[in-house]
């Protein structure tokens, strides 16, 4: 329960929910209970128009949609007239109808069948419905996108700065279909360099208050699940008009910098541009050239499957940009930025989108090259607007200081591994970086990375700038990904309004959009995590009875969580499955202790486990200790 009058969220005991469901707007009374306040729901003001996913259990005359999970504490009763042709055991989507007096469960209406539980298509669609993430565009939105002018207009080019003759390229993942950023490179006569950071000009096509704009605003972000992307914009825009594809002229919005040999910004320029991308590189291709220190790409690395060589001018551009990115990164770290170089879990999928292997992605120089120049553009755009007087309403990406209590808990946890950490020092970010560096490559790295990340505040969008703690920037925004993030579209519009000396929308309107985008981003993140969890379950389904080396990543009064080292799949050893002793939870020491044998299972301990059970629908793994 969130109240404007209280800083912290308030607990609502189940018996005082008064038929309120997650997300409902309600009136409450607040009561003091021992050391805390609790809330009682007095009245439902407005029901949340949420979709609930569950399994249909049909009886002769009625049915139930079984959907108790997380914050959902009840199932839905389905009346005979609502059952239609839906089948027993199907996974379905239901919505709230009403809740009759004296009934234990509300009445629901089934609006859609997702199919047989446990199949990839059903379970991924279930995740999207659970978080209210639409995976289809309304027909009128698709039609509106289809009517957009796809030609490059000579009169529009005259209104823009022309970069079509400058060396320009994109660097993206192998699987990328939308390319929303490109770099141009030019050596100047005085020994400096002009670097253009060119971003797809989505705002040229998506006009304020249009049907396309409303749909993009509602979605607020693209969602990247393991087996698919749910885009913010229709494919005509995301993969076509706005995508900076090679050998095509494109409208862009650019941040252009003149840099010296140390990557210091000497001049800056912002405005509408037109570009022609000469090359489309993958991260792997650029990394290959940087590592080999040659302008050659072999057939195994090449996107086309054929070996090739780039001109020396292109290779020189890549190596110079790589050198500059290292300077930019070094300066960020000196200023207190935190370096979370986390390993990402990825899956190789078969033709039916089922995982057949797990692999890990790490950020290398090619990735960091792009990252640093995107960070530079985002920072400098925010500074450019943020330092104007009088103040101009703008979208900032902020990141507050870490939570002191969580930092103290981090210190306690890592002390058992032999690491030192001072959460009250003058330079906490330096302490965190040292910790992340010290544990790098150790078996406990992923655990410590996760705990350190949890101690951080959540980044969010707002008009009130407080800086970005994690990046150590006083000003920061999101300018570089308007194909997949709506705040970037707003930033483009506000920046153009300023450049054209037009009046911006009121601060309250922008702030409302910021809050909406932050909420949608959090939903998308949770959906993305759930899709990874689902794929991990599918991957582990045929491994029941097999043994693996793991590390204890969490300890609760119900048991302990263990992450398998070789594939990072996490499961639970339940307290009832710990044999040969009576085990108790020691909250103070993050451990489980055997009463008779004094056997201790502690956070971070290595442990050999056996897979006991896999539940794909509920997305959990059960382990037992290996004998």
113 CA to centre of own chain: 28
Nearest Cα to Cα of residue 21 among 70, 89, 54: 70
580 — alpha (psi -120 to 50), left (phi > 0) or beta? left
172 with 294, same domain: the answer is yes
161-162/265-276 β-pairing: parallel
What percent of the chain has pLDDT above 90?
67
Nearest Cα to Cα of residue 338 among 439, 412, 431: 431
Looking at residues 387-396, what average pLDDT do you find? 93
Mean pLDDT of the chain: 91
Cβ atoms of residues 52 and 93 within 8 Å? yes
Residue 142 tokens, joined: 């698709």
**pLDDT reading at 3 higher than 70:** no
Domain annotation covers residue 126: no
380 with 416, same domain: the answer is no
DSSP for residue 177: -
For 105-151, the pLDDT digits (tens) are 999 999 999 999 988 889 999 999 989 899 899 999 999 999 999 99
Specify the CATH number for the domain of residue 556. Answer: 2.40.50.140
152 with 79, same domain: the answer is no
- Return d(Cα 16, Cα 31) in angstroms, integer: 11
**DSSP H helical segments within 111-253, as ranges?**
120-130, 139-146, 154-158, 202-205, 211-219, 235
Residue 607 tokens, joined: 């442990």
pLDDT score, position 7: 59
270 with 157, same domain: the answer is yes
Domain annotation covers residue 196: yes
- Return d(Cα 560, Cα 601) in angstroms, integer: 8
107 with 3, same domain: the answer is no
37 with 58, same domain: the answer is no
**pLDDT reading at 229 higher than 80:** yes
Among 262-266, 271-275, 296-300, 418-422, name the one with the lowest average pLDDT.
418-422
DSSP sequence for 446-478: HHHHHHHHHTSPPPEEESS---BTTTTBSS---
232 with 378, same domain: the answer is yes
Residue 588 burial (C-beta neighbours within 10 Å; 0-12, 13-18, 19+): exposed
pLDDT score, position 160: 98
pLDDT band for 1, please (50, 70, 90 cuts).
low
pLDDT score, position 350: 86
Domain annotation covers residue 399: no
150 with 291, same domain: the answer is yes
**Beta strands across the sheet bearing 265-276:** 161-162, 265-276, 249-259, 193-200, 181-187, 167-172, 279-282
Residue where a domain terminates, one of 85, 117, 149: 117
* Residue 443, helix vs strand vs coil: coil
- On the question of a cis peptide bond just before residue 390, with omega within 30 degrees of 0, the verdict is yes
Contacts of 335 (CB under 8 A, 6+ apart): 472
Domain annotation covers residue 396: no
**pLDDT reading at 446 higher than 80:** no
Domain annotation covers residue 186: yes
307 with 217, same domain: the answer is yes
154 CA to centre of own chain: 39
Cβ atoms of residues 474 and 250 within 8 Å? no
Contacts of 186 (CB under 8 A, 6+ apart): 166, 167, 193, 194, 196
pLDDT score, position 10: 80
**Whether pTM exceeds 0.75:** yes
Residue 123 tokens, joined: 């379970």
For the chain, the domain total comes to 5
Residue where a domain terminates, one of 416, 439, 456: 456
For 169-192, the pLDDT digits (tens) are 999 999 888 899 999 999 999 999
Label each residue of 327-394 as H, E or C: HHHHHHHHCCCCCCCCCEEEEEECCCCCEEEEEEECCCHHHHHHHHHHHHHHHHHHHHHHCCCCCCCC
Among 211-225, 489-503, 580-594, name the one with the lowest average pLDDT.
580-594
Domain that holds residue 264: 139-331+340-388
202 with 321, same domain: the answer is yes
Domain annotation covers residue 532: no
pLDDT score, position 465: 97
- Return d(Cα 325, Cα 480) in angstroms, integer: 17
For 44-94, the pLDDT digits (tens) are 898 887 889 999 999 888 999 998 887 888 999 999 988 888 999 999 999
DSSP sequence for 40-87: EEEEEEE----EEEEEEEE-SS-EEEE--BTTB---EEE-HHHHTTPP
212 — alpha (psi -120 to 50), left (phi > 0) or beta? alpha
Nearest Cα to Cα of residue 238 among 572, 485, 566: 485
pLDDT band for 455, please (50, 70, 90 cuts).
confident
- Return d(Cα 490, Cα 485) in angstroms, integer: 9
pLDDT score, position 411: 85
Cβ atoms of residues 461 and 221 within 8 Å? no
Domain annotation covers residue 238: yes
* Residue 539, helix vs strand vs coil: helix
Specify the CATH number for the domain of residue 77. Answer: 2.40.50.700
Among 17-21, 159-163, 329-333, 410-414, name the one with the lowest average pLDDT.
410-414
Contacts of 442 (CB under 8 A, 6+ apart): none
59 with 156, same domain: the answer is no
Cβ atoms of residues 565 and 443 within 8 Å? yes
367 CA to centre of own chain: 17
Domain annotation covers residue 469: no
Cβ atoms of residues 442 and 374 within 8 Å? no
- Return d(Cα 247, Cα 525) in angstroms, integer: 34
pLDDT score, position 588: 79
26 with 59, same domain: the answer is no
Among 37-41, 156-160, 166-170, 229-233, name the one with the lowest average pLDDT.
37-41
């Amino acid at each position: 329960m969130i109240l404007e009058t209280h800083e912290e969220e308030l607990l609502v005991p189940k018996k005082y929910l008064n038929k309120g469901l997650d997300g409902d707007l309600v009136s409450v009374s607040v009561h003091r209970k021992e050391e805390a306040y609790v809330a009682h729901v007095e009245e439902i003001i407005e029901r949340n128009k949420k979709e609930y996913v569950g399994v249909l259990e049909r009886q002769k005359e009625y049915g139930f949609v079984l959907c108790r999970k997380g914050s959902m504490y009840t199932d839905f009763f389905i009346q005979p007239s609502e059952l239609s042709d839906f089948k027993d055991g199907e996974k379905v989507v239901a919505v709230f109808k009403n809740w009759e007096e004296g009934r234990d469960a509300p009445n629901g209406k089934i609006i859609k069948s997702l199919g047989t539980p446990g199949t990839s298509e059903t379970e991924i669609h279930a995740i999207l419905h659970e978080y209210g993430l639409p995976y289809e565009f309304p027909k009128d939105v698709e039609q509106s996108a289809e009517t957009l002018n796809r030609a490059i207009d000579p009169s529009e080019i005259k209104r823009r700065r022309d970069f079509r003759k400058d060396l320009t390229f994109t660097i993206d993942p192998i699987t990328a279909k939308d390319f929303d950023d490109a770099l141009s490179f030019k050596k100047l006569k005085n020994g400096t360099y002009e670097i253009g950071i060119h971003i797809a000009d989505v705002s040229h096509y998506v006009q304020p208050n249009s049907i396309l704009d409303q749909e993009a605003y509602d979605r607020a972000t693209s969602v990247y699940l393991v087996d698919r992307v749910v885009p913010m914009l229709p494919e005509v825009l995301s993969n076509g008009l706005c995508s900076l594809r090679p050998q095509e002229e494109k409208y862009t919005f650019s941040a252009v910098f003149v840099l010296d040999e140390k990557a210091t910004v000497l001049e800056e320029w912002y405005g509408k541009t037109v570009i022609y991308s000469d090359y489309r590189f993958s991260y792997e291709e650029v990394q290959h050239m940087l590592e080999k220190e040659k302008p050659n790409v072999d057939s195994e690395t090449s996107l086309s499957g054929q070996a090739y060589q780039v001109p020396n001018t292109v290779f020189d551009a890549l190596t110079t940009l790589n050198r500059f990115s290292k300077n930019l990164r070094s300066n960020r770290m000196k200023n207190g930025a935190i370096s979370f170089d986390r390993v990402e879990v990825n899956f190789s999928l078969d033709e039916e989108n089922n995982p057949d292997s797990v692999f890990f992605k790490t950020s290398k120089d090619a990735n960091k090259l792009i990252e640093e120049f995107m960070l530079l553009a985002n920072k400098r755009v925010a500074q450019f607007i943020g330092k104007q007087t009088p103040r101009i309403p703008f979208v900032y990406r902020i990141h507050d200081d870490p939570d002191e209590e969580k930092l103290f808990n981090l210190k306690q946890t890592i002390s058992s591994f032999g690491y030192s950490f001072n959460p009250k020092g003058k330079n906490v970010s330096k302490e965190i970086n040292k910790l992340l560096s010290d544990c790098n490559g150790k078996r406990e790295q992923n655990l410590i990375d996760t705990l350190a990340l949890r101690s951080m505040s959540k980044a969010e969008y707002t008009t009130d700038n407080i800086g970005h703690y994690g990046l150590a920037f006083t000003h920061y925004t999101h300018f570089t990904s308007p194909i997949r993030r709506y705040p970037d579209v707003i930033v483009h519009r506000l920046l153009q309004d300023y450049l054209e000396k037009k009046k911006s929308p009121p601060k309250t309107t922008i702030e409302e959009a910021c809050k909406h985008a932050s909420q949608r981003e959090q939903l998308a993140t949770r959906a993305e995590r759930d899709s990874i969890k689902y794929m991990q379950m599918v991957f582990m389904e045929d491994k029941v009875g097999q043994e693996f080396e793991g590390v204890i990543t969490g300890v609760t009064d119900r048991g302990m969580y263990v992450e398998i080292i070789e594939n990072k799949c996490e499961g639970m050893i339940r307290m009832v499955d710990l044999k040969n002793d009576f085990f108790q939870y020691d909250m103070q020491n993050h451990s489980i202790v055997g009463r008779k044998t004094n056997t201790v299972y502690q956070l971070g301990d290595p442990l050999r486990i056996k897979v006991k059970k896999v539940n794909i629908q509920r997305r959990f793994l059960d382990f037992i200790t290996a004998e």
